[in-house]
Amino acid sequence: MRILALAVLTMAAVSATSPALAQTYNPRYPVCIKQIQTFGGERIECAYTSLEQCNATALGLPAQCIENPYYGGRPEGGRRYRQGY
């Protein structure tokens, strides 16, 4: 009977925890929002083209806008150059 009770408690504890979300930086967007989640976690979402757009979303939330360190923007002038000649 103790083994059954222990198994039920173990199953309840495992199912009560939420799955961890991977934090990824989307290299297509230059601005990310870093939002504080319940119980001290944080989530980073990179889906903004400007700081103004991100700040409008973050208004009133426990969040802050940051520059994407992995932004793969275009080179100066907006042109793509071929390499490897």
Confidence of residue 36 (pLDDT cuts 50, 70, 90): very high
Cα–Cα distance measured from residue 85 to residue 83, given in angstroms and rounded to the nearest whole number: 6
Choose the weakest-confidence range: 9-13, 50-54, 79-83: 79-83
Concatenated DSSP letters of 46-61: EEESSHHHHHHHHTTS
Beta-carbon contacts of 18 under 8 Å, excluding residues fewer than 6 positions away, are: none
Confidence of residue 2 (pLDDT cuts 50, 70, 90): confident
Residue 66 has pLDDT above 80, yes or no: yes
pTM of the model: 0.58
Q: Are the CB atoms for 68 and 28 separated by under 8 Å?
A: no
Assigned token pair, 46 = 């990179």
Confidence of residue 65 (pLDDT cuts 50, 70, 90): very high
Kindly state the DSSP code that residue 31 receives in the 8-state scheme. Answer: E
Q: Are the CB atoms for 24 and 30 separated by under 8 Å?
A: no
